[in-house]
A = this chain, B = another copy of it.
Amino acid sequence: MQIVIIGSGNVAYHLAKAFVLNKIPVAQIFGRNETELQKISSELNIPFSNEKPEDADLYLICVSDSSVENVSELITKTDCLVAHTSGSLPKEIMVGAYRKSSFYPLQTFSKSKDLEYSKIPFFIETENEEDQKTLTELALKISENVMESTYEKRKYIHLTAVFACNFVNHLFSRAKEISDAQEIPFDYFLPLIDETVQKIHEIDPKSAQTGPAVRNDKRVLELHENLLKDESLDIYKTLNLSIKKMYQLP
C-alpha cells in the first residue's frame, strides 16, 4: 500500500515517525512548508514535495482543522482512501470523489518530545468495512489500542481531551507564572503534579479531590483571591465555583 502523509506539523511528523519505526513505508510527505518538510524528510528518510502529492492508495491529511477542507481538494485521484486526523471534523468535510475516513490519534504531539506510540488510542471511521479493516490493521502496527468511532463520539472524545490535556497544560502555565513571579522553582511542583496524575490511575478523580475549595475553606479561598489578578483570578473563581457545585457545598 502506497501511503502519502500530507502536512509538516506535529501530527504529520509523529505519524510519519511512528510509521517508519514500525517499518511501514511512507511514499512521500507532502506539504507547503519546505523547511519543515526538509527536516522531517532528512530525519526519517522519506521523500518530500511541496509541489505535487505522489500517487497513493492512502492519503493521511495531518493539517490543522481549518485547513483540512482546502487541502483535501488537492487530491484529484478518485480510486483511493483519504483520512484526516482531526478530532472535531466529520469525514464529509473533505472535498473529493475518493473514499473518506477518519484516523484520529488521541494524543498531544510536540515535535521536540518523543512519544511511546504503542499506547496511543486510535479512533477510526470509514465508509465501508474493507477500508475499516485497512486502517485498523495499519493502526495496529503502531498501537495496541485501536477502536472504531463515529463522528458523534469523536467530537466528545476530542472535547474530553481538551479538558484533560489542553486545559490541564494551561493550568500548568498559569501555575508556573505564579511561582516564577515569586522566584520559586517550578521543579518543586513536579512530584506533586506526577502524583496528581498517578492518583487517577487508581482512584476516581472525583474521590481524589483535595484542596481548599473541596474543604470549603473560605479563609484560604479569600486569601488566594487577594494574591491573584486578571485571568488567573478568573480561573480561580470559575474552578472553585465548579468544585462547589460538583460537591454540593454550601
Contact, CB under 8 Å: A200 / B227: no
Copies of this protein in the assembly total 2
Contact, CB under 8 Å: B231 / A246: yes
Contact, CB under 8 Å: B192 / A163: no
Indicate whether A23 reaches chain B with its CB closer than 8 angstroms: no
How long is the Cα–Cα vector from A118 to B198 in the complex, in angstroms?
Answer: 16
Indicate whether A39 reaches chain B with its CB closer than 8 angstroms: no
Contact, CB under 8 Å: B121 / A191: yes
Q: Is the interface of A mostly helix, strand, loop or mixed?
A: helix
* 30 A-B residue pairings within 8 Å (CB atoms): A64-B215, A65-B215, A66-B217, A88-B220, A106-B188, A107-B191, A107-B195, A108-B195, A108-B196, A112-B202, A119-B191, A120-B191, A121-B188, A145-B191, A156-B184, A156-B227, A161-B192, A162-B212, A167-B171, A168-B172, A170-B205, A170-B246, A173-B206, A176-B205, A176-B206, A190-B200, A197-B197, A231-B242, A232-B242, A234-B241
